[in-house]
Amino acid sequence: MNSKIVSWRGRRVWVIGASSGIGAETARALQLRGARLALSARNAQALQQLAGNHAETLVLPLDITDPNSVTDAHRQILAQWGGIDLVLIVAGTYNKMRADNFDLQQAKQLLATNLNGPLNCLAAVLPMLLAQGSGGIGIVASVAGFRGLPEALIYGPSKAALINLCESLYLDLRPRGINVYLINPGFVATPLTAGNDFAMPALISAREAAEKLIIGIERGEFHIHFPKRFTNWLRVARLLPYRCYFWLIHKVTGL
């Protein structure tokens, strides 16, 4: 559905959300494959550490909720590289929320990062990608965006919006020669899930998640989801009528 990638050598990749978890492991793995990297997130020290002694790697701290800091970082990359081959938007946050502890402030903060953040990135990179007529953009959403789930009152909708966004982007951008990747992980062991107080089914490491993400991009897939032993069940659950779906979720989660 997208063009395949045979070699990463020399490819210019901007990873936004590279300071920990899936983003950091993806950046590390791409660095080993010879890609040229620009690393962004708020934690400059973690980015610097990841860049290590790769003098070519660009370290560009930003806050994804601030459109100006995203635009500034993008401008600096273009000044160095002249273009970008792949923009990976991994940054995101989670908070556990249900109807009985709804908090408007927290809800807005989460949407500012998980939804407005990627929109800030699109505003910066879309004109460049369209002018290039090449390159690609990948957005990390989540299987939590497939359908409503308990404890994901706002996280779920933020990821559902990203899934829909990627589908529309694919329709608009693929005919213009630009690759679009929708990345939906299941449970991955990272700081984001470290606080979960339940047994996470089919939990994988961030390194494994990064490998699967990269392989999906290399194969030119649009929908990159992993681990399949978990995500395929959720894809089936996506098709169930509401009555069956709600029954199943209550039964499985006990919530």
Ligand X SMILES: NC(=O)c1ccc[n+]([C@@H]2O[C@H](COP(=O)([O-])OP(=O)(O)OC[C@H]3O[C@@H](n4cnc5c(N)ncnc54)[C@H](OP(=O)(O)O)[C@@H]3O)[C@@H](O)[C@H]2O)c1
- Binding residues for ligand X, rule: CB under 6 A, are 17-23, 41-43, 62-65, 90-94, 113, 140, 142, 185, 187-188, 190-193
Nearer to ligand X, 4 or 31 (CB): 31
Known catalytic membership, residue 155: yes
And the tokens for 175?
Answer: 């005919």
What residue spans of 41-192 are helical by DSSP H? 44-51, 67-81, 104-111, 117-132, 155-173
- The minimum distance between CB 49 and ligand X, in angstroms, equals 12
- The minimum distance between CB 42 and ligand X, in angstroms, equals 3
Contact between 197 and 211 under an 8 Å Cβ cutoff? The reply is no
Nearer to ligand X, 130 or 203 (CB): 203
Which of 155, 170, 181, 245 is labelled catalytic? 155
Alpha-carbon distance 109 to 58, whole Å?
28
DSSP state of 114: I
- The minimum distance between CB 217 and ligand X, in angstroms, equals 15
Nearer to ligand X, 4 or 229 (CB): 229
> Which is nearest to 193 in space by CA: 235, 152, 254, 149?
152
Q: Which residues are catalytically annotated?
A: 155
